[in-house]
Amino acid sequence: MKTAQRARRRHLATLWKASASAWLMAPGLGQASGWFSRGPKPIELKPVRAVVWKDWLGVNAQFQWFPPEVARKQAERFKALGLEWVRLGLHWMLMEPEEGKYNLKPIDQAMALVRQMNLRSITYVVGTPRFATSVSPSDKYAQYFDKFPPRDPKTYALRMMHLAKRYPQVDVWQVWNEPNILAFWAPKADPEGYGRLLLPAVQALRAVVPDKPVAMAGMAYFSEMSTGGLMIQRLGELGAFNLNVIVAYHPYTARPEGADDDERDLPTKVVPGHQWLRAAGVKQIWATEWGWSSYDGPKEEQPIIGEQGQADYVLRRLALMAAFDYDRVFLFTLSDLDARASVRDRRYGLLRENGEPKPVYHALQRFLQVCGPRLEPDTPPKLEGRVPDGLVSIAWKRPDGRQVWMCWSDKPVSVTLPQWRKEAVLHHPLKGTQVTLKPGPAGVTVPLDTALQILVA
């Protein structure tokens, strides 16, 4: 299964590049001739819209995996970041291992914690119990019954209805998870099959909680399927967008700026792809998972980057995603997990298993403190002379009128901003340092780093 997942990850995102080819030269991507160089092409972004962090940035959380006192500690650490949104995953086969026999105590405790901490949530349900699975007991893959979709989609819809009644504090319900990969939908990706699951679930949820939004499953990566094409595109062709649901996917890539085959391809996938989705009538686009593990190995698909690498990658990707047309994003995940998860999947957390912060938590906290609660789009500054290879340039304004420039490059180099004629402070949230820069005759000179820095003036 992991070999197939790697192949899917490398599969070209045909919708994002072919169906939306008219937008590949969209303004704001820094693709004018002056931005090309012998090294990696620079990325210059003017953000699409204002960002209010507490409403835009959330995390995945597994509160039900932990003792109540540890789960509460995790929630308190999360609240200390000034954020509100969590994404919860409920596993049907654990909640109802036998038909009609429920084990909901861990979920009740997690939901009570969410309510007590005044958190907002999106909650998905995945994993078919043995009694409801579509795989035959005699099939050679019968032991993986939870990876197969339910035999009758209405059975799943009834469970979603039951949960929506039991947990009215859930703000958004999400129908399944990553049905474009074998880990969650066997024996192969099946857009029509997922559509048959989605429709009755949406109808059931709207019958009991008509005021709550519903999200399609978060698709793995850019929704590539091993059979070719993208599931999001196929679902749109089947009419799923007419259900007025949130479209979600999980843009995991090897590096913050791009994938294995093109380490700077993220903008050329996300920008035209989202424009295509908006033109198709999609009102909400969420990334319900993204992130990197700090695991030590052995290697499981993701490169081994350690705890400092995790913090570095998360900050750079966060800066990029904030500038793109996402309505909400959810980092994976709040806390490291125990041995029930794979070696890699155990170490995606902002926190350790005991609730203590990792470097990525502190780096994110510093990032949010520098930015303030809200940022407004601004135009990236002009640079004096040649643009460095691999520069990433993103500009914002704070409500207090201060200019905010997020920047990094492929190697340390200094650049001068000729129009910045006032004193500025250069923050390095990864290191937790800052330095005051005074303007010279040519403007403010900024020493770029390979990690994200934030210049505030």
Q: Of 28-32, 142-146, 392-396, which range is least confident?
A: 28-32
Determine the pLDDT at residue 172: 98
* pLDDT at 67 exceeding the cut of 50: yes
Tens digit of each residue's pLDDT (9 = 90 or more) over 126-182: 999 999 999 999 999 999 999 999 999 999 999 999 999 999 999 999 999 999 999
Residue that has been written with the tokens 């699951």 in this structure: 197
Q: If pLDDT is split at 50, 70 and 90, which confidence band does 260 have?
A: confident
For residue 182, what pLDDT is reported?
96
Is the backbone peptide bond immediately before 187 cis, with ω within 30 degrees of 0?
yes
3-state class (DSSP) for residue 376 = strand
Q: ∠ at Cα 78 (75, 82), nearest 5°?
A: 130
- 3-state SS class at 4: helix
* Res. 300 pLDDT band, cuts 50 70 90: very high
38 pLDDT higher than 50: no
- Provide φ and ψ at 451, rounded to 5°: -95, 160
pLDDT at 4 over 60: no
Tell me what pLDDT residue 39 has: 57
pLDDT digits (tens, 9 = 90+) for 345-386: 999 999 999 999 999 999 999 999 999 999 999 999 999 988
Question: Does the pLDDT value for residue 58 go beyond 60?
Answer: yes
Q: What is the mean pLDDT of residues 174-198?
A: 98
CB atoms within 10 A of CB 414: 9
Amino acid (1-letter code) at residue 446: V
pLDDT at residue 11 tops 50: no
In this predicted structure, what is the pLDDT of residue 15? 37
Q: What is the mean pLDDT of the chain?
A: 91
In this structure, are residues 126 and 146 in contact, taking their beta carbons and an 8 Å threshold?
no
